Amino acid sequence: MYKTNDLILRTTTSLIAFILLGFAIYLLLAGHNSPGGGFVGGLMTSGAVLLMYMSYGIEAVNKMLPINFVTLIPIGLAIAVATGAGSFLFDVPFMSQTFGYFTVPIFGEIELATAMLFDLGVYFTVVGVMITIILTIGNDQ
Amino acid sequence: MNNILVLPMVIPVLAGILLIFLRPYIKTQRWISLGVMIANIGISIYILNRIQSEGILRLDFGGWEPPFGILFVADSFSAILVLTTSIVTAVCLLYSFSSIGKAHENMFFYSFVNFLVAGVNGSFLTGDLFNLYVCFEIMLLASYVLIALGGKKIQLKESVKYVAINVLSSWFFLIGIAYLYGTVGTLNMAHLSERIAESGQTPILTVISILFLVVFSLKSGLLLYYWLPGSYSAPPTAVAALFGALLTKVGIYAMFRVFTLIFYHEPGITHTIIGVLAGLTLIGGSIGAIAYKDLRQIVSYNVVIAVGFILVGLAVLTPEAIEGSIYYLMHDMLVKGLLFLIAGTMITLTGMTNIDYMSGLIRNYPFLGWMFFIVMLSLTGIPPFSGFIGKVLVGQGTVDAGAYILLALAFLSSIFVLYSLLRVFLNCFWGETIISEEDEIPMKKGWLIPCVLLTLATIGLGLGAESVAIYVSDAANTLLNPNIYIDAVLHD
């Protein structure tokens, strides 16, 4: 059988997926002060992963990214709820957030907020949900 | 600061997440979910008692003051409903242990029950309209999964209808919230109430209130109940019992909250419409309950009748009627759960749904038969059981308000409830037995014990009405005097 040669697609994918993943992380981290956040970052990440699935096929990507995307959903949810429930430990109202300034070697002084952890939970949940939906529909057996 | 208020929602969510990881360990899943519900019972009793001594409790999320942040508010009404929800869910879980089957339990059944309860409790406790919408969606998404889980043809057919109608009503809900936010500029319930009281309920606000009425009618099955009998007869027994006991009640709760706290300035329009709808629901439900021979349909139409009955109390809006509605709401959650469990057990035991093909079950299963008899009496409102006090108080309220048509409809519907269930009792339990000794499916303890627990609960609520009375009258008092709620939320 004639096998299609998708060299151009695969080469550009390895470049674009890399950029997309980087941009997704940027969006995730930028959410506090500019447009972005966990939701759109997660969508962008799943877009990158989806692009890899489309050009390389499911088996190859599963080898590249040995992540069980279904378990990302409860992990993300657990992180998000735990950030809220962490307030029980400090005797402050549920869902309170706090922040502090830390000096990190390369970046200098940066502001770290616990809202970031919540966003991280959202991020994982969105990635898990999107890729689970796509794979469940796409994986026809 | 009352972090305990958020526990009835957070514990089920955490448990639901944990149970996803514990997928292969079914025993552990069962005990964790049951433990969560029992913990919720304890917490809600504690909250209920604290409300009696300290007044309405509130928790501002993240420490943001009320009009700006979202918050949970617990008054007696919410706490009573959270308590009843926890009891009914615990019993339904007990029933599901021996009836739902491995295939369900492996597909995250207990996680979704926990999420459902989280949504229901969140809806009861929230003090913010948009947060109410979100909690509704949590509840509905879990219920979509629970209704379709199993993938039988009828479940898929009914779940498509159920999802479609609920997506539509949620969209209406969102539109209503958008209009309200555009008009008043706030979404905190207490603040909304205050602003509407300041500006007067202008015609646009009355229109918005009617939009909310449509939304909650769709959710609770007030006149717009055509989706209900089909959807509630599709899922497995334990799930149907949860739906019958909880889901419509959340719509009813929302209607009580919105029309006593926010839109109470034009009772001539809104409460008259509620009264008309409640009357029509009583008529429609009564016709449905006696029209069908399918046991599941009969039971589902009994849910519809109860919705109409409870909202008669809201329509007349006198202290007695509201108290009666609250009593009846508690009673109905317990007894509808029991009714669905018994009906489901009967269907499992005989393998039929048509009441014409069942006969003489009392010879094989006497205990089940007498429990059905008690349910029937309780739903009709015979004195020692829990339905009585609610019916009397609602009746008294309608007499005080001079709403004699509603009074007549409400009490005639009791006769229809009695007739429809008596017909089931006579057809299915009395008569020649059709199940021979060797064909008899042995009654499992796991099916009987939950029914016994709920039967005890209905007897207990009936006999112990006096001890519940302080909570109920406090709840009714808060509902009738929105200022108590507003003061507790905004000015303390």
DSSP-derived secondary structure letter, B74? E
- Contact between A37 and A119 (Cβ < 8 Å): yes
Residues 43-62 of B with CB under 8 A from A: 59-62
Residue A83 lies in a domain: yes
Report the residue from B13, B14, B60 with minimal CB separation from A93: B60
Residue A62 has pLDDT above 70, yes or no: yes
Domain count of the fold of chain B = 1
Is there a domain that residue A125 lies in?
A: yes
CA pair distance B342, A51, nearest whole angstrom? 52
Nearest in space to B353 (alpha carbons), one of B234, B228, B231, B226: B234
The residue whose two tokens read 């739906």 is: B243
Confidence check: pLDDT of A140 > 70: no
CB of A87 within 8 Å of any CB in chain B?
A: yes
Q: Which residues of chain B neighbour A73 with C-beta distances below 8 Å?
A: 20
DSSP B442: P
Provide the domain limits for residue B22: 3-490
Per DSSP, which regions of chain A are E strands?
A: 99-104, 108-113
Does A54 touch chain B if contact means CB atoms closer than 8 Å? no
> What does each of the 492 residues of chain B score in pLDDT, given as a tens digit?
688 899 999 999 999 999 999 989 999 999 999 999 999 999 999 999 999 999 899 999 888 888 888 999 999 999 999 999 999 999 999 999 988 888 888 889 999 999 999 999 999 999 999 999 999 999 999 999 999 988 889 999 999 999 999 999 999 999 999 999 999 999 999 999 999 999 888 899 999 999 999 999 999 988 889 899 889 988 999 999 999 999 999 999 999 999 999 999 988 899 999 999 999 999 999 999 999 999 999 999 999 999 999 999 999 989 999 999 999 999 999 999 999 999 999 998 888 888 888 888 888 888 899 999 999 999 999 888 899 999 999 999 999 999 899 999 999 999 999 999 999 999 888 888 877 666 777 888 888 999 999 999 999 999 988 899 999 999 999 999 999 999 999 887
Structural domains in chain A (count): 1
By CA distance, what is B15's nearest residue in A? A78
Mapped onto helix, strand or coil, the DSSP state of residue A110 is: strand
CA atoms within 13 A of residue B447's CA, in its CB half-sphere:
22
The answer, for B145 touching chain A at a CB cutoff of 8 Å, is no
* B8: closest CA of chain A, how far (Å): 13
- Chain B: closest CA distance from residue A119 (Å): 16
Residue recorded with tokens 């057919």: B157
Q: Does A91 touch chain B (CB under 8 A)?
A: yes
Mean of pLDDT values over A37-49: 93
CA–CA distance, B476 with B474 (Å, rounded to integer): 5
User: Which tokens go with B319?
Assistant: 């202290």
Domain, as residue range, for A105: 6-139
d(CA B31, CA B190): 39
pLDDT-derived band at A121 (thresholds 50, 70, 90) equals very high
**Which neighbouring-strand residues pair with B71?**
B60
Cβ-contact B375, B339 below 8 angstroms: yes
What pLDDT does B314 receive?
92
CA atoms of A134 and A115, how far apart (whole Å) = 29
Q: Which residues of A touch B10 (CB under 8 A)?
A: 81, 84-85, 94
Q: Are A64 and A57 in contact (CB under 8 A)?
A: no
CB contact under 8 A, B62 and A71: no
Q: Do A94 and B17 touch (CB under 8 A)?
A: no
Q: Is the pLDDT of residue A141 over 60?
A: no
Residue-level pLDDT at B275: 93
Backbone angles phi, psi at A99, to 5 degrees: -150, 165
Interchain contact, A78 vs B61, CB within 8 Å: no
A85 to chain B, closest Cα gap in Å:
8
Q: What is the DSSP string of B124-174?
A: HHB-BHHHHHHHHHHHHHHHHHHHHTT--HHHHHHHHHHHHHHHHHHHHHH
* Residues from chain A contacting residue B1 (CB–CB below 8 Å): 91-93
Mean pLDDT of A24-52: 91
**Pairwise CA distance, residues B326 & B322, whole Å:** 6
Q: What percent of chain A has pLDDT over 90?
A: 43
| Most B-contacting residue of A94, A117, A129 (CB-CB within 10 A), to test interface | A94
Mean of the per-residue pLDDT values for chain A? Answer: 88
Q: Up-side HSE of residue B123: CA atoms within 13 Å toward CB?
A: 30
Q: Within a domain: residue A1?
A: no
What are the chain A neighbours of B62 within 8 Å (beta carbons)? Answer: 93-97
